Amino acid sequence: MTPPSRALVTGATGFLGGALARRLLDLGHQVRSCSRSRSPRLESLGIEQCTVDLGSADAEAALREAAQGCDVVFHVAARTGAWGRWRDYERTNLIGTRQVLSACAEAGVPRLVHTSTPSVAFRGEDLEGVDEAEAPLVLEHHAHYPRSKALAEHWLLQHAAGAGVAAVALRPHLIWGPGDTNLMPRIVARARAGRLARIGAAPGRPRISPTHIEDAVESHVAAWRALVERPQLAGSAYFVTSGETIATWEMIDGMLASQGLGPVRRSLPVPVATALAAALEVVWALLRLEREPPLTRWVVRELATSHWFSIESARRELGYRPRRSVADGLEELTRLRRQQAAGAQPADGR
């Protein structure tokens, strides 16, 4: 990994992919990006860009060209969300992952770090302090996103070695922090619209283990380094968090407070929330609405259960060391909001 190595990042226009690309640049590496659209921000950083629609007929050729001369590919791009057509999730997350591996093999890229999700191990029940052996990947899911990601991770780790590529999968949990374009903006928007309610929450429960964006990025760098130094790790999957647990609604209230909003007061029993979500899904399906319903049964299950994970395998085998606590992260978000309200530009330019 002596600079300048060359890395390809898929999905670098997104939250994690963009932060990873910037970190790789800071470490002295050359970075290429493959995304659905070009980014003026990436261009200003000198990142070479190619536009690729994963799952499309011409994606593999574009990926193969972009991967030429690269030492590693970080496959971060994915279709996320709790609603949509199966074929769209399959196209981007499963077929797209197959195209990425094929491009790596044909371009001679020796290593691939794949961004998965802990949702691949979620069965609808509490997951508390479990490791990769105690919470193995499952292929049957209640939503298209975790199903497509589970199939993609399973297929990749089964086929990468045969393609001559050393690959690992990382499962970062609930990535958040400055620049978040998904988790916190959704929570804040729903709170401001009066559409946020606690679901089945008891004091201190359920509990989660979030991952600050800086730790998520460092886990990817650590995985690359580990593959270089210990190629026998190829074929493994790792849970990634920032190493602490917090009650779900304490975390959500903290995020809202960092944006100057009050805590969530309304609550719904789990059976009521489940029935409401099921009814909304029926209406959305009958009307063929593409936008996400206010609530789905998968989201209810996620909010009503604990899911926090052991990261001992990532510590031991990848050398991963989380550094950002929830308290530090929330203080940072509060400070950035106040700077923006005062008309000051945040130090990182976001």
Q: Are 176 and 183 in contact (CB under 8 A)?
A: yes
Give the residue numbers marked as catalytic: 145
Give the separation between CA 151 and CA 78, rounded to whole angstroms.
Answer: 13
**What is the end-to-end Cα distance of the chain in Å, rounded?**
29
- Tallying the residues shown for the chain, one arrives at 350
Rounded CA separation 319/342 (Å): 40
What separation in angstroms does the CA of 8 have from each of 40, 99, 123, 297, 327?
Answer: 18, 14, 33, 36, 33
Burial class for 229, CB neighbours closer than 10 Å (0-12, 13-18, 19+): exposed
Is 168 in a helix, a strand, or coil? strand
Write the burial class of residue 93 (CB in 10 Å: 0-12 exposed, 13-18 middle, 19+ buried): buried
